[in-house]
Structure 1
Amino acid sequence: MIICAGNSENFSFAQPMGVGLVETAMNLTRLCLFDKPEFLLFVGTAGSYGDAKLFDIIESKTASNIELAFLSNDAYTPLDNVVTTNITNEKDIVVNSSNYISTNAELTKNFLKFGVGIENMEFFAILKIAQEFGIPAGGVFCITNYTDENAHEDFIKNHEKAKELLEAHVIKRIKELTSV
């Protein structure tokens, strides 16, 4: 099953799950309880902490939930804040999820030291639910912005093109997989 956030981020081939960690967790849990999918592929946009370039397509099976306060040693969590469905041990770009969009480039570049390369609001919730239900899962992302003071404006400006690139990428990958 292919899923997406929804609202302004819809795809003809994907079922929307909600925006942010909470909506996504609630709706995906409901789906899995009543009609458990064989696999989950999340398709969405993301912001780059600096290494990934605008309109790069990134595939990942690893997500984190690290708040900015952690980077400045102003917070800690007793929870496991990294989840992966990657069983191949191939190196993944870690996708960080929060209900907030980062806008401080100086602070967010510190994510790169931990192997965290991009941010997307929903992916951590998706992988946690997938893990709980034993469902193989991954994500495909297109970079719309950097995590700086222009994050929102750049996201708005680049969103439509990113969705077009994502759609073309996913359709191409589906064709590759079904022709094998």
Structure 2
Amino acid sequence: MLTLAACGTDGDATEQTPPAPSASETSAVPTSAGPSMDPDEAAAADAAMAVYRDVTRLAQDARRDPTQDWLLPYAQLTADPYRSAELLEISALRDRGIAHTGEVAHDPQVVAVDLAGGTDGTLRTVKIQDCVDTQDFPATDQATGDVVSAERPPHVAVATVVFYPPPEDRWLVATVDVQDETC
């Protein structure tokens, strides 16, 4: 049922991929800000990672209590298509009387920074690859207390965090692509 309990959508969601940046526009780093990054790339990586970490906490909180209205918190940190997919998933949990307990373990790393954007409408992006472990975050039927989620080994998720110009003027998580790959 839930393939990425804390930071993504189910496996049916598709990621809208911007055009691939050139090698000079992209930097791969193992952490949010590495020594090989210039100051602008490091600042972008740090800002995007902060938003991503906030989104992973938000997703856990929303799944623990899907009866609350989560639209405003998601609007502050996310963009479509991720926002809509998340809100639909939370609504489905609420409608089925299911909530999660426990914690999701994450190990996110910035893998690419593209600050070039483009005249074709592409925006500045940061890609974050995360190892997501949902084994200690079971879904439970609230009426019966029965655990209803299937075990899933830790898996890879790739988030695209995009800088939206004014009026937004901030980094937002736009997609989270859940991979079949384990980690």
TM-score (norm 2): 0.30
Higher Cα Rg, which structure? 2
TM-score (norm 1): 0.30
